[in-house]
Amino acid sequence: MSLLNVARKLLKDNAPVTESTPDWKAERKFSHPERYTKNYAKYVATGGLVEPEGDAARFANGLDSHNGDMARFYSLCLVSDLVAKQKVPGHFAELGVWQGNTAEVLAAFARRQQRTLYLLDTFEGFPDADLDLNEKHLSGIFKDTSLEAVKNRVGEEGTVFIKGYFPETAAQLPDDGQYAIVHIDCDLYVPMIAALEYFYPRMAPGGFILMHDYGSLCWDGAEKAVDEFFADKPEGVMPLPDLCSTVVMRKNKKAYYR
């Protein structure tokens, strides 16, 4: 075999995975954390609060993009487990609720930990004021929701729904509020930077901010906001391997353990 043919064979056998090989995703199976599978009895016996099957159904219910995004689901589970284990104080909050898939999971976790969950959204889609010149084509997206529909889905026990334009609606959050988990999923630069400016100083030591869509290459504003905000902060962000490349920050100015 000539060197050229050898090279061609090596390139073929070791070709990078691309969209031209449509079956590559189907050929791979997602690994589920052992604490929620073979070690689940031990997990429950030591105080674990996640209910894998039921909580996964809440997360995926009615939304195809969530159905296979188990990395995102398990990230929420593991972060919730850690703040419970280490007794990190504070509420949970989500900015960017849409139809309530992640909100329903966060509400379940908050109730089991006897915390309050604050859900903030216009419940009417993107406000035009948040769309820059390169985003005007996004007007009208995510309008297929309503406050009442999300309330019916998530339930109101231990959950506060705040409808309107953020950061103006921040006035409806508790003045002395402290947060253990904040999930930011508002896609655009303006609300993302406003959320970080508001919630970052109110995070409990050891608390987590999860920022969705950072690395998806679909929402440039989200990436820009995160990069700008954390450029001068002592914490950095850690990428997660979920569908839309969430990044997570842990407030770590001082270690928090009990």
Domain ranges within the chain, ordered by starting residue: 31-250
Per-residue pLDDT band for 206 (boundaries 50, 70, 90) equals: very high
pTM score, whole prediction: 0.84
Question: Candidates 3.40.50.1370, 2.40.50.140, 3.10.520.10, 3.40.50.150; correct CATH number of 31-250?
Answer: 3.40.50.150
Q: Which residues of 36-46 are buried (b: 16+ CB within 10 A; e: fewer)?
A: beeebeebeee
- CA nearest to 107, candidates 90, 125, 85, 91: 91
d(C-alpha 44, C-alpha 66), whole Å:
25
The rounded distance, in Å, linking the Cα atoms of 103 and 166 is 17
3-state secondary structure of 120: strand
User: Six-digit token pair at 126?
Assistant: 């993107």
Which residues, in sequence order, are bridge partners of residue 95?
120, 184
Please state whether beta strands 179-184 and 91-95 pair in parallel, antiparallel, or not at all (unpaired): parallel
- Please give the structure tokens belonging to residue 257: 């353990």
Paired strand residues for 184: 95, 211
Q: What is the share, in percent, of the chain residues with pLDDT greater than 70?
A: 78
Q: What is the pLDDT of residue 76?
A: 97
pLDDT (tens digit per residue) in 77-132? 999 999 999 999 999 999 999 999 999 999 999 999 999 999 999 998 766 666 66
The pLDDT confidence band at residue 133, using thresholds 50, 70 and 90, is low
